[in-house]
Amino acid sequence: MENNKKTLYFEGAGMSETKRNDLNNCRIRTAFINLDGKEIYLELESGNIYNKKEKEIDKKYFLVVDHLFYIIDGIGNENENGIRHNHLDLRENYLYNNDDITAWINKNLNCKFDDVEILPNLAGYRVHGDNRSYNLVENFIYNKELTAKREEVKEYFNKLEKSEGKKYPNFSIWVDEKDLNILHLLRYFNGCNKHWEINTDLNNCIDEIKETKLGQYGC
């Protein structure tokens, strides 16, 4: 947190390449604690604003609340603990952008955030935990330097696969849920998949990559 600025982090749940107003994702989600000490799950998306005359989508997008409920004893039951909100007010008065999302959350969910931020995929934040649990952003530390290093590793394998003749690189890379220094790499080959672990705590982490058994996806 810089200069005591309070930012609410979101996990990108849609396509990160999809530009919506000033946000680079069309669907986002998070779990956090409000000023009353209540745990809340929130999932948002963008809604298309149509020009009635032209019958075309305007460049602006309004704010849509997809899921909103209290997390009670670690359990989220939207049917029993859903938080009511005014859909018409959202559509008419709030755009899907940083300022309006922050304002709506502060006004309706009793919070005092200065802004919101959609974390990169390799930042490592995942809202949904094991056994239908939720990971609160208050328990997550965003490490920009480590995230940048993970992005460099991803770009290395992106270039590697292109050099091997793949027009569209075909691999998955993600942060280990327990050890944040570990990256998992899953590469797809004809007839088989292979999995490696990369320890980003090492200076030459790509040179020290280790092939390991994942226990799923056929490897």
User: Of the ranges 22-26, 132-136, 173-177, 206-210, which one carries the lowest mean pLDDT score?
Assistant: 22-26
Give the CA-trace dihedral at 148, 150, 152, 157, to 10 degrees.
-160
pTM for this one? 0.88
Report pLDDT for 14: 81
Q: How many angstroms separate the Cα of 26 from the Cα of each of 38, 47, 88, 183?
A: 26, 9, 20, 26
**Residue 218 in domain:** no
**Residue 1 in domain:** no
Is 150 found in the same domain as 107?
no
Q: How many structural domains does the chain have? A: 2
Picking from 79, 111, 139, the residue at the C-terminal end of a domain is 139
Is 120 found in the same domain as 17?
yes
Average pLDDT, the chain: 91
Is 110 found in the same domain as 161?
no
Residue, of 14 and 35, whose pLDDT is higher: 35
Range of the domain at 92: 7-139
Picking from 139, 159, 187, the residue at the C-terminal end of a domain is 139
pLDDT, tens only, 25-75? 889 999 999 999 999 999 999 987 766 655 555 557 889 999 999 999 988
Answer whether residue 17 shows pLDDT above 90: no
